[in-house]
Structure 1
Amino acid sequence: MTTSPDPDAVRIGTFEREQCVEALGVHFAEGRLETTEYEERVTTALGAQKKSDLVPLFADLPDPHPPVLRPPAPIPAYGQYPQPVYGYTPAARGMSDKSKLTTGLLQIVLPFGIGRFYAGHVGIGVAQLMVVLFTCGAGVLWPIIDGIIILANGGHDGQGRRLID
């Protein structure tokens, strides 16, 4: 018999911590947090190890809350998705429909930010394109290294969903 772990006891990563810092920035900008309190909450968010460490940071704040603190969406019944794969599409599993292999290879083979455009990161794609163009090709290392990192560690699409393997 397998038991699933308590969702609040699951370890979080850098992506989730950054989402919390971004949400705290919104509350700070809207005047809900004073500077010292904002700094304390950001420090706590950056040092958080588990989802349960983040819950108190937003207990007294209205939305927006980071996606990591939202309840998981219910898994729909089989057949509710077009062309189901083993019952669920990548989007139903919180995954992107974009491939990390394609993204990484595009970054390496066409080092002008093309892989970032493909994954939906238009801002980073434009930045990489401009760096390569304005440095007469010397800035080509950035997209190539970026492609290698994507191939090794994976990444996220423009909507924050994990790229599929």
Structure 2
Amino acid sequence: MESDELRIGTAEREEAARLLADHFGMGRITPDEYETRVTDAYAATTLGDLRPLFRDLPHPHPGFFGPPPAYPQPTMQVPMYGPPDQYAPPAPMPYAQQPVPYSYRSKTVAGVLQIVLPFGVGRFYTGQVGLGLLQLFVCLITLGFGAIWPLIDGIVLLANGGLDAEGRPLRP
């Protein structure tokens, strides 16, 4: 049986929906695309049903799609004489451990903006326009009572930081 024919369960559907929400929050897909893709994710029965939902999106993809392709490590000939450590190249870091460059945006500024102007301004600052618009609409529709969401979001940004629209961690 090919991997695309393997049946999936609720956990896989929910992981796919969560990752689609992350892509939506980063502005990579429109609200209509998000709604369609999440509906398709919850209706999926096999891995083959989920793969097209992420085909045009960058990582992260669901972990159950399989590990990223392994690239062969280059080998280097070590001379027979002399200390081998002198000639051996440094071991490459695994992809998951490579340092991620920081964003030029600050988590402190984003958090303070979310708290002082509690209608998504901090999310606009981080480049997450979709999430900022969603918070703005919730505040407008609920006549200001929805400002609790951006307020809590601002506290979380101050405490834990977050990511900008490109997926880079915000500066401390």
Compute the TM-score of the two structures, normalised by the length of structure 2: 0.48
Of structures 1 and 2, the one scoring higher in RCO (CA 8 A, sep 6+) is: 2
Compute the TM-score of the two structures, normalised by the length of structure 1: 0.50
Compare the two structures and name the one with the higher strand fraction: 1
- Which has the larger Rg? 2
